[in-house]
Amino acid sequence: MTPFEAGTLNRRDSSQGHREGSCPRRHAPQAQAPFLPRLLPARAIALFLVVLTSSIFPALGKCRVPKDVSRNDLPAQAEVLKDDLGRPFPLPATTPTRIVSMAPNITEILFALGLGGNVVGVTRFCDYPPEAVSIAKIGGLVDPNIERIQALAPDLVIAFRGNPLRIVNRLAALKLPVFVLDIGNGLDALYPLIARVGLVTRREKEAEGLAAGLRARQSAVESALGQVREKPRVFVVLRGQGLWTCGGGSYVNDLIARAGAVNIAAAMPKKWVLYSPERILRDDPDAIFILSKSEEDFARGREWLSREVHLDRVRAVVGRRVYMIDENSASRFGPRLVDVLDRMARALHPERFGGKP
Amino acid sequence: MSGKAGRRLLLALLILLAAAGFLLSLLTGPVKTSGADLWNLVRGEATGVQATIFLDLRLSRAILAFLVGASLALSGAILQGYFQNPMADPFVVGVSSGASLGAVLALSLGVNVAVPGFSGQGLMAFASGLGIVSFVYLLSLRKGSFKIETLLLTGIAAGALASALTSFLLFMRSDSFDQAVFWLLGSFQLADWKQVGTVAPYFVICLAASLWLAKDMNLLAMGDETARALGCPVRRVRKAFLVLASLLAALSVSVSGIIGFVGLVVPHWIRLLIGPDHCRLFPYASLAGGTFLLYSDLIARTVLPSELPIGVITAAVGAPFFLYLLHQKR
């Protein structure tokens, strides 16, 4: 029998009400003291709580609520930058020595600028360069741990798009110096990104050098390609659950275009898209890139495409033009994208790089 | 344990557990801290970083978890009395899902009207939570009485619809993964004093109001007709309770996402222990709910290197215990 069956509740309530007098019924005829209505315990507590709230909480609300997220306490003379969220950020006078990087590509750029020794916290995905693996972990890209970041006492936290904005705001509210950088649409956005990281870490010269080197390699690829007349049509596979690919809004799409090819999923506006096997059969791509972690991973991916997705009649598979792209470099918006561009261009147009067609 | 001594014992036990829970919450986290560090803080000698970790990160989080647990349990206790059904809770009746839909809708539309201490998200969460529960109430009301099956099924259907819409809205956003986990499974990772300041006064007011109306709830348990005959303004009381339950659920959802099972299990435990008198059930359930969620959050953030969604813990801990108690009762 559950307590909800009216009989049970009725009996208990009335018996308790009369025996202890703690909870007599207000609406029942008052037998005992008609002119002195007793203040019932429950209601007394209720009144007490209301008084308590009105007196305590306004004060409590004021005492430890962090101030506005925008940083008002900027030093007067420091030059003030704006991060990619448009928030003011005072330019450090010297290179920060305790940097927390909240994304793998930022870690990579920091190391490329020679700041590896100044990085005190990275995400658990930061595995390039290999030295980064031994640095203290702050959690993941979408689940960085605020407490760990706080405990590292950083003098610069570089966040990237992909870090949840709510966590970034929480860090700023704790008065941590957070500088947020956004991803761009294509390879062209990589150079400003490197320059911004260089600026905020006061490594402007190194950043310029790094960018110049990368630009030179990019234009070497582009001049080798020259004017490509017949652009192969390409499909990119991200290894994982289902046929994920890169849509028109992704930087991988831009890389493919620069490598003298056309992404068959370019019409999809999103960055990452779940593609359907039917569409690939219809589009019949000339080449397929599989982003894979290793050679074995690539072999499994190729197997999977022909066995389970039934792409063995597609031109790319028939013509044996299925290529591996290193997933680690292609998935991070960092300096190694130029390597990816080079690899794509060489795979798609070997004749332009002195190889056999 | 329905005697006076038993109740006192339960109260003492709950307070002790809650205090221990707060202490544990302060001392455990990804950054190692000792009792000595905490003692330094009490004496005002802690470093800035330690003070931030203890006060801004751990204490605010523990208090928020406690308040949300208390709100959910109180909301569940109200709804169970309201529908005279032990299966009712903010999640089952659809309030939580409705509130979450409202919050995500506000997020997507960029609604930014704010009432003192209540964000646009909180307001929308409250409105749609109240909307869903009224809708469920009207649909399951037949000739002035409820059919329990209709109520449960309507609630589940309405909740599923709201969850589907929430998922859709989240899918349309670019940062959907993190957001989806937060809104559909709950988390206290972003707890801060501002949220505590929002929830605390509303919770206290709701607790006060429900205590004020607790005897009317006892009367409602005898049936609306009987209650009316005894002088209870049934319609007004029912409206008030519906608003209270939705407000509590919406508050919780707007700061921590959907956390299931607290509102279902906790009032049930307490009712089995101290009996169905709502004058006592409401405060005891609030205290127990707060303590329960405090420990759940402690588990959620310590058991693995990265945090678990708290909804996983509440369901894993709550459901088996609920089944056990239910089985024993029979």
The CATH number for A157's domain is 3.40.50.1980
Q: Does the pLDDT of residue B1 top 60, yes or no?
A: no
Question: Cβ neighbours of residue B160 under 8 Å, at least 6 residues apart?
Answer: B97
Contacts of B61 in chain A (CB under 8 A): none
Tokens standing for residue A134? 């031994």
Select from A212, A242, A257 the last residue of a domain: A212
Instruction: Please choose, from the candidates A344, A289, A278, the residue with its C-alpha nearest in 3D space to the C-alpha of residue A311.
Output: A278
Structure tokens, A293:
């972690």
Residue for token digits 């991060």? A83
β-sheet with A156-160: strand ranges across: A119-121, A99-101, A156-160, A178-181
CB contact under 8 A, B221 and A52: no
Considering the domain architecture, whether residues A241 and A333 belong to the same structural domain is answered as yes
Q: How many structural domains are present in chain A?
A: 2
**Average pLDDT of chain B?**
85
Contact B306 A23 (CB under 8 A): no
Query: Is A235 found in the same domain as A345?
Result: yes
Q: Indicate whether A312 and A262 sit together in one domain.
A: yes
Q: How far apart are CA B142 and CA A166, in angstroms?
A: 45
Give the integer Cα–Cα distance in Å for B189 and A346: 46
Length of chain A, in residues: 357
Residues of chain A with pLDDT under 50: 1-37, 61, 63-74
Span B7-28, average pLDDT: 93
Which of B201, B214, B283 minimises the CB distance to A53? Answer: B201
Q: Chain A residues with CB inside 8 Å of B4's CB? A: 20
Partnered with residue B157 across adjacent β-strands are: none
Which residues of chain A lie closer than 8 angstroms to B306, CB-CB? 139-140, 143, 145
Q: What is the mean pLDDT of residues B135-161?
A: 79
Kindly state the percentage of chain B with pLDDT values over 70.
91
Span B183-193, mean pLDDT?
Answer: 82
CA distance A332 to A349: 24
Tell which residue, B276, B279, B241, has the closest CA to residue B78.
B241
Above pLDDT 70, what percent of chain A? 80
CB B98 within 8 A of CB B133: yes
Give B205 or A162, the one with higher predicted confidence: B205
CB-based contact (8 Å) between A167 and chain B?
yes
With respect to residue A61, please indicate whether it lies within any of the assigned structural domains. no
Please tell me the distance in Å from A177's CA to the nearest CA on chain B. 14
Interface mutation vs chain B, best among A8, A16, A20, A27, most B CBs within 10 Å: A27
Residue after which a domain boundary falls, among A165, A185, A212: A212
Amino acid (one-letter) located at B83 = F
Least confident of A246-255, B153-162, B179-188, B235-244: B179-188
Model pLDDT for residues B221-258, shown as the tens digit of each residue: 888 888 888 888 888 898 899 889 988 998 898 888 88
Q: Does any domain span residue A113?
A: yes
Q: Establish if B271 touches chain A: CB-CB under 8 angstroms.
A: yes
Residue A37 lies in a domain: no
Of A152, A184, A212, which residue is a domain's last?
A: A212
What Rg value do the Cα atoms of chain B yield, rounded? 20
Output the 3-class SS for A38-86: CCCHHHHHHHHHHHHHHHHHHHHHHHCCCCCCCCCCCCCCCCEEECCCC
Tell me how crowded residue A94 is: count the other CB atoms within 10 A of its CB: 8
Residue B324 CB neighbours (<10 A): 10
Using the Cβ of A61 and the Cβ atoms of chain B, whether some distance falls under 8 Å is answered with yes
Domain identity same for A193 and A257: no
Report the pLDDT value the prediction gives residue A21, as an integer from 0 to 100. 40
Residue listed under structure tokens 């000339």: A286
pLDDT (0 to 100) of residue A208:
96
Using a CB–CB cutoff of 8 Å, tell me whether B225 touches chain A: no
Q: Is residue A41 one of the residues assigned to a domain? A: no
Tokens standing for residue B55: 């006060």
- Identify which has the larger pLDDT, B136 or A201: A201
Interface pTM, i.e. ipTM:
0.71
Render pLDDT for B37-61 as a digit per residue (tens, 0 to 9). Answer: 888 888 888 777 888 888 888 999 9
Q: Domain for residue A75, yes or no? A: no
Q: pLDDT value at position A58?
A: 57
Asked if residue A72 is part of any domain, the answer here is: no
DSSP 8-state assignment for residue B58: I
Quick one: pLDDT at residue A268?
A: 85
Question: Which structural domain range is residue A112 located in?
Answer: 80-212
Q: B65 with B294: CB under 8 angstroms? A: yes
CB neighbour burial string for B195-218, b if at least 16 within 10 angstroms, e if fewer: bbbbbbbbbbbbbbbbbbbbbbbb
Q: Which residue of B has its CA nearest to A123?
A: B306
Decide if B224 touches A, using CB distance below 8 A: no
The closest of A87, A63, A91 to A79, measured between CA atoms, is A91
Burial of B175 (0-12, 13-18, 19+ CB in 10 A): middle
How many separate helices (H) and strands (E) can be counted in chain B?
16, 2
User: What's residue B112's pLDDT?
Assistant: 62
In chain B, where are the structural domains located?
4-30+60-329
Q: Using CB atoms, which residue from A28, A146, A165 is nearest to B57?
A: A146
Tell me the shortest Cα–Cα distance from B228 to chain A, in angstroms. Answer: 10
CB A286 within 8 A of CB A321: yes
Question: Judged by CB atoms within 8 Å, which residues 96-125 of B form the interface with A?
Answer: 117
Q: Cα dihedral angle (A252, A258, A259, A263), rounded to 10 degrees? A: 50
Q: Which residue has the tokens 């957001």?
A: B179
Same domain, A95 and A149: yes
Partners of B277 on chain A (C-beta within 8 Å) are: 12-13, 16, 23
Instruction: Please report where in the chains the tokens 């798609």 appear, as a residue.
Output: A348
Amino acid residing at B222: M
Residue among B29, B49, B192 whose CB faces A66 most closely: B192
From chain B, the residues in CB contact with A65 under 8 A are 192-194, 197
If DSSP codes are grouped into helix, strand and coil, which group holds residue B295? helix
Cis peptide, bond prior to residue A129, ω within 30 of zero: yes
Which string of DSSP letters, residue by residue, matches A119-185? EEEB-TT--SSGGGGGSPB-B-SSSB-HHHHHHT--SEEEEEBTB-HHHHHHHHHTT--EEEE---S
Q: Is A12 on the interface with B (CB under 8 A)?
A: yes
Q: Which CATH number fits domain B4-30+60-329: 3.50.30.50, 1.10.3470.10, 1.20.1430.10, 3.40.50.10470?
A: 1.10.3470.10
Which residues touch B191 (CB under 8 Å, ≥6 apart)?
B60, B61, B64, B65, B255, B256
Nearest CA in chain A to B224: A6
B209 touches chain A (CB under 8 A): yes
Residue of A nearest to B212 (CA): A43
What sign has the CA pseudo-torsion A218, A219, A221, A222? positive
The predicted structure's pLDDT at residue A256: 95
The reply to whether A21 touches chain B by the CB within 8 Å rule is: no
